[in-house]
Amino acid sequence: MTMVNLAKTAEEMKSDRADLPMTIPGGRSSGPEYPCGCCISLDDETLTKLSLDGDLPAAGEMVHFEAMGKVTCASVRDEIQGDGTTKQCRRVEIQITNMGMIGAEPAPRAKKWYASGEPDGDEG
């Protein structure tokens, strides 16, 4: 499986800022680094199902997981751009049905989140 970084490019971030109605006074409006919809949230019940009911990783740490999902919606539509041209937009919605966290086997609690106990820097 090839890992792809979904972070927006500098040009995409600049384009997103241009679409904002105004910037924050005295600051800069940078917008999100990743596209909307790239974030999942795991509640306590789900963490327990994944055998990750112990210590949690710190914010900013990278974790490795794999997931299976069912396509719940697939669509193509034409969207009018700011300059009056049209652009074909595609969208696929996926419901995650099965998920595994690398290293989520019985192990010391804090080490469950990482395959070797600690991130190796290749997570991103």
In degrees, to the nearest 5, what angle opens at C-alpha 9 toward C-alphas 35 and 39? 20
Give pTM, 2 decimals: 0.61
Please tell me whether residues 58 and 31 are part of one structural domain. Answer: no
Please tell me whether residues 32 and 46 are part of one structural domain. Answer: no
pLDDT value at 64 more than 70: yes
Question: Could you tell me the residue range of the domain that residue 33 belongs to?
Answer: 7-39
Burial (CB < 10 A; 0-12, 13-18, 19+), residue 52, is buried
Is 25 inside any structural domain?
yes
Is 116 inside any structural domain?
yes
Is 15 inside any structural domain?
yes
Please tell me whether residues 19 and 56 are part of one structural domain. Answer: no
pLDDT digits (tens, 9 = 90+) for 75-117: 999 999 889 999 999 999 999 999 988 765 544 444 556 555 4
> Residue 28 and residue 4: Cα distance in Å, rounded?
28
- Give the count of domains, the chain: 2
pLDDT band at 71 (very low <50, low <70, confident <90, very high): very high
Pick the closest to residue 117 from 107, 49, 59 (CA basis): 107
CB contact at 8 A, 34 and 6: yes
Is 1 inside any structural domain?
no
In degrees, to the nearest 5, what angle opens at C-alpha 63 toward C-alphas 44 and 112? 65
